[in-house]
Amino acid sequence: MIPAHMDKFYINGAWVAPLSANRMGVENPATEEIVAEIALGSEADADRAILAARAAFDAWTVTPVADRIALVKRILDIYNDRYEDFAQVMSTEMGAPIEWARGAQAWAGQVHIESTIRAAEQMAWESMRGTTRIVYEGIGVCALITPWNWPMNQIACKVAPALVAGCTMVLKPSEIAPLSGTLFAQVCHDAGVPPGVFNLVHGTGPEVGARLSSHPEVDMVSFTGSTRAGTAVAAAAAPTVKRVAQELGGKSPNIILPTADLAAAVTAGVEGCFGNTGQSCDAPTRMFVPRDRHDEALAVAKAAAEAVVVGDPADSATTMGPLISKLQFDKVQRLIQAGIDEGATLVCGGTGRPAGLNRGWFVRPTIFGNVTNDMTVSREEIFGPVLAILPYDSLDDAVRMANDTPYGLAAYIAGPVADAQPVARRLRAGTVNLNYPAWDTFAPFGGYKQSGNGREYADWGIHDFCEVKGIVGWGA
C-alpha cells in the first residue's frame, strides 16, 4: 500500500501543497520499479514548517507532562492499529523481507515509543538540590533528519522523546524511503497532535536538510546518517550555536574470545552482520578470531552465509532483501572488488547479483578471511552484507585493532561473561554487546569519535531534547 498525501507536506496541522514544483520517484529496490512520487521541498517549504513549529512552541512546552505523555500514548495506539501498514510500506520502500519488516522494522518503531512513554513516566522532571529547583524543559524547535535504513526506528527515537520533552519539530525523512514517514505523519494527525507541534517536509539533504540545520529559529538538530553528511550538518548549525545530536557511521568490531564457543559465536556474528542486508550502522562487520582457529572460523562463517535466503521480499522464506539503491549497490560492488584486489581470501560471495536474480539491487552475501587491519574492507563502512574476518595473536592485539578505527558506535564480544567484561571496558564504543544480547531499548545508544555525539533511547533520548534550568533560591 502507498500512503495518501505523498505529494504534500504536513505543516501546521494540515496536508499542504508544496511551494516547489520538484518531484522525485520512489523506487522499490527489489524490482527497480517506481511505486510512488513525492514532492521535494525547497528552502521556502522548510521555512514554512519551521515557523509553524516556532509559533506552536510556547503553548506546547508548558502543556503538562502528563498531557504530553497521553498524546504519545494515542500515537502508539494508532501506530499499533496500523502496524501491518508500516511493515508493508517499509518492505516496499526498502525491499525489506516482509517477516523482517514486521519483526524488526515495524517493531522498532513500536518498542521505542513504548520505551519513551515508560521513561517519561518514571523521569524526575523537577527536583530540588539544596534550595535550587532543577527543571528539565524542552529545548525548543527541533529539526529531525532521519535515514532510510531503519526508518521507523529513527523517527520514533526522535519524535517521541521530543514530544514528551515539550519540543516542537520538523521531520525530514530520507527522500529515498519516504513512505513510512508520510504514514507516521498521518498517525500523528489522527492522534490529535496540536497544529505546528509536528511537521513533515520531504526533500534532499543539500536543500531542505541544510536549511533546517542553519535556520536561526531551529534550536536543535537531531541527525542520523553518514559521517560525511553529519559533518555538513554540524558546520551548518555552528553559526547559530545549535545543539547538534548525531548518530553516524560505524565499523563495529566483534571479538571472538579464545574461550568462546567458536561455532555458535561465528554463526551469530555472521547473522548480525548480514541482518537488514548489512545496512545497519552498528552491524558487527569486523570479526576478530584467534589465529590458530582462523580457518575453522572461515568454514563456519561460510556455512552461515550459505544458509541466507536472498530473494523476493514478499516471500516469507526470504531472509535477505536487496540494497536500497543502485548507488549503494555500486558502492558495495566496488568495495567487494577492493577486498579481492588487496589480497583478502574470498570465502564466499563476491561481485555481481546472486544466481537467478537479474533485477533489483540484490548482492551476494560475502565473507573475506585473512583480512589485515589496513585493507579497505577493514577500514571503510561498506553498508552491505560483507564481513571481514581478521586473525589475532593475543587479546591485546585484538583490542588494539578493534579500536584502530575512526568510528566508535558499537562493539561485540563473544565468550564467557567473566572473560568478556574486562575486554568490554577497553573498547572505545558507545555500546558494547556481550554474547549477542537482546535489543535493550533502555540502554544508551550513540557513538564515540566520528560515530557521533549524544545518546538516544528512553530517558537518554529525552535528556537530549531538554534544557536544564536551575531556579536558584526557590526553596530559600
Mean pLDDT of 169-194: 98
pLDDT of residue 114: 98
pLDDT of residue 459: 98
The CA-atom distances, in angstroms, between 171 and each of 103, 206, 376 are 25, 15, 35
Strand partners, 246: 223, 453
Mean pLDDT of 78-86: 98
Per-residue pLDDT band at 1 (split at 50, 70, 90): confident
Mean pLDDT of 179-194: 98
The Cα 351–Cα 333 span in angstroms is: 6
Q: Residues 320, 365: contact at Cβ < 8 Å?
A: yes
**Catalytic hit among 188, 281, 348, 466:** 281
Is 284's pLDDT higher than 90? yes
Per-residue pLDDT band at 104 (split at 50, 70, 90): very high
pLDDT of residue 242: 97
Residue 305: in which H helix or E strand, if any? helix 294-306
C-alpha cell at 282: 552498528
pLDDT of residue 476: 84
- Based on the residue annotation, tell me whether 281 is a catalytic residue of this protein: yes
pLDDT of residue 38: 97
Q: Residues 200, 173: contact at Cβ < 8 Å?
A: yes
- Residue 200, SS3 per DSSP: strand
HSE-up (13 A, CA, CB side) for residue 384: 30
The CA-atom distances, in angstroms, between 425 and each of 265, 394, 450, 467 are 20, 17, 19, 30
- Based on the residue annotation, tell me whether 32 is a catalytic residue of this protein: no
Per-residue pLDDT band at 463 (split at 50, 70, 90): very high
Closest alpha carbon to 468 in 59, 67, 133: 133
| Dihedral angle sign, alpha carbons of residues 232, 238, 239, 241 | positive
Closest alpha carbon to 392 in 295, 290, 304, 240: 290
Q: Any residues with CB less than 8 A from the CB of 234 and at least 6 apart, and which?
A: 244, 246
- Output the pTM of the full model: 0.97
**How confident is the model over 119-175, as pLDDT tens digits?**
999 999 999 999 999 999 999 999 999 999 999 999 999 999 999 999 999 999 999
**Catalytic hit among 27, 175, 247, 381:** 247
The Cα 48–Cα 17 span in angstroms is: 12
**How confident is the model over 329-362, as pLDDT tens digits?**
999 999 999 999 999 999 999 999 999 999 999 9
Question: Residue 129: is it exposed, middle or buried by C-beta count within 10 angstroms (0-12/13-18/19+)?
Answer: exposed
| Dihedral angle sign, alpha carbons of residues 307, 312, 317, 321 | positive
Give me the CATH topology for the region 9-248+451-471.
Aldehyde Dehydrogenase; Chain A, domain 1 (3.40.605)
Average pLDDT in the chain: 98
CATH architecture group of domain 253-440: 3-Layer(aba) Sandwich (3.40)
The Cα 154–Cα 104 span in angstroms is: 13
The Cα 306–Cα 299 span in angstroms is: 11
The Cα 411–Cα 250 span in angstroms is: 10
HSE-up (13 A, CA, CB side) for residue 9: 34
pLDDT of residue 99: 98
The Cα 260–Cα 253 span in angstroms is: 16
Listed by start position, the domains of the chain span: 9-248+451-471, 253-440
pLDDT of residue 237: 97
The Cα 134–Cα 122 span in angstroms is: 16
The Cα 373–Cα 429 span in angstroms is: 18
The arrangement of strands across the sheet holding 410-414 comes to 345-348, 366-369, 386-392, 286-290, 253-256, 410-414, 431-434
